[in-house]
């Protein structure tokens, strides 16, 4: 059984599929199904595309109207509602409008008045969600499925590969990784955890036989003023950046769970690790001082130095969407 690789770009990030298949034709068929579905989801839920269904929803939101959604979107909204409840309001798909105040390229902080005006239009509880109808009583709101759709796409990719008869491999959508099935030799997949402060460095190497892994991190997009770093992970209840954790990596059976859990842990700051521990989710964290911790068992994570080009064939560096 041979390893086939397919690299592509989608959802604004580099992606890769690795498949062990009997024939190249079988691998290409599975890869084709995966790529087509990822691009379908991007076309439906990208906030950068004016022709996406998400943009249709947000045009209605801007006017303070209501819209009926399809079953797939209904499922995503229900999951968003679950995350909102479990995080006590920290995971909030209405918080994307904070980007209107936070321009990380400008090097300047927003005014507290700017942030407060946006906070008045943030809050899942402000919406009226009676499936399949989503209503926006307050004009000027919007929703964003960032933190859900890419991870959902990774889970779907694994299912599509299995349906195509390819049962060994993995899919990596910009660092959101779902294992389709184990390597033929029985060895685990080796997945590097990106160092939050160094683009080409890895904090460690995860050994994964099954499941999924996702990370949330306060990486390159930031503002530094008077020695204080303001990162891009924003608390929807205050409108200001988190200040405790620099990155969180989570392992789960589903990538969508790993992704949302890592984001919630970042937003919970000092309480994030304990929250993940209570859920029984293996995790690894790095705080702003460079200290590390988490519940991953001894032997499941190996310290590594700089990821060299020769190692890139064996390790998949976890990259995050900025």
Q: Which amino acids are annotated as binding site, given as ranges?
A: 147, 263
Instruction: Reduce the DSSP state of residue 247 to 3 states and report it.
Output: strand
Do the Cβ atoms of 104 and 113 come closer than 8 Å? no
Do the Cβ atoms of 159 and 178 come closer than 8 Å? no
Tokens describing residue 91: 């995971």
DSSP 306: B
Query: What residue numbers does the annotated binding site for Mg(2+) cover?
Result: 147, 263
β-partners of residue 316 are 191
Q: How far apart are CA 226 and CA 276, in angstroms?
A: 33
Burial of 222 (0-12, 13-18, 19+ CB in 10 A): middle
For helices 149-163 and 24-45, give the axis angle rounded to 10 degrees. Answer: 150
């Amino acid at each position: 059984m041979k390893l086939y690789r397919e690299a592509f770009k989608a959802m604004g990030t580099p992606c890769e599929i690795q498949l062990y298949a009997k024939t190249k034709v079988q691998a290409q068929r599975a890869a084709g199904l995966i790529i087509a579905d990822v691009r379908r989801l991007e076309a439906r839920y990208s906030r950068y595309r004016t022709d996406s269904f998400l943009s249709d929803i947000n045009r209605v939101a801007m006017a303070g109207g209501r819209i009926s959604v399809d079953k797939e979107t209904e499922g995503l909204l229900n999951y968003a509602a679950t995350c909102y409840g479990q995080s006590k309001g920290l995971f909030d798909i209405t918080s994307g409008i904070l980007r209107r105040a936070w321009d990380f390229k400008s090097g300047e902080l927003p005014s507290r008045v700017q942030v407060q005006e946006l906070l008045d239009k943030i809050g899942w509880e402000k919406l009226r969600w009676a499936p399949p109808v989503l209503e926006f009583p307050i004009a000027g709101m919007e929703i964003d499925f960032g933190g859900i759709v890419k991870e959902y796409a990774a889970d779907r990719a694994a299912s599509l590969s299995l349906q195509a008869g390819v049962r060994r491999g993995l899919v990596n959508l910009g660092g959101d990784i779902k294992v389709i099935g184990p390597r033929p030799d029985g060895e685990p997949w080796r997945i590097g955890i990106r160092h939050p402060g160094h683009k080409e460095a890895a904090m460690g190497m995860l050994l994964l036989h099954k499941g999924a892994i996702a990370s949330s991190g306060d990486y390159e997009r930031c503002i530094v003023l008077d020695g204080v770093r303001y990162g891009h992970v924003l608390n929807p209840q205050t409108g200001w950046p988190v200040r405790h954790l620099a990155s969180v990596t989570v392992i789960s059976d589903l990538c969508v769970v790993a992704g949302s859990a890592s984001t919630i842990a970042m937003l919970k700051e000092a309480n994030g690790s304990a929250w993940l521990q209570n859920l029984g989710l293996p995790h690894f964290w790095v705080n702003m001082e460079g200290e590390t911790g988490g519940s991953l068992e001894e032997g499941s994570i190996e310290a590594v130095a700089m990821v060299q080009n020769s190692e890139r064939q064996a390790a998949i560096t976890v990259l995050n969407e900025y």
